[in-house]
Amino acid sequence: MRGYGWTPHCVEGDDPMTMHQQMAATMDACYAEIRAFQDEARSSGKATRCHWPMIVLRTP
């Protein structure tokens, strides 16, 4: 997926409580990544092509 302009973040498992915690942490990380892109673009006045985060769910 990197070649298509994405940064994959994997969440893997089948236990609901573990998956919930992993998903919450991954969403926080993705949100922080997006905010960093936005802050950089706003402060520099230049928009660059970013590798946006994506979440990949996997089951064992």
- Going by C-alpha positions, the residue among 52, 56, 60, 57 that lies closest to residue 7 is 52
Number of neighbours of residue 22 by Cβ within 10 angstroms: 17
Is residue 11 within 8 A of residue 23, CB to CB? The reply is yes
40-50 pLDDT tens trace: 999 999 888 89
Number of neighbours of residue 26 by Cβ within 10 angstroms: 17
Q: Is 46 helix (H, G, I), strand (E, B) or coil?
A: coil
24 vs 36: CA distance, rounded Å: 18
1-24 pLDDT tens trace: 888 999 999 999 999 999 999 999
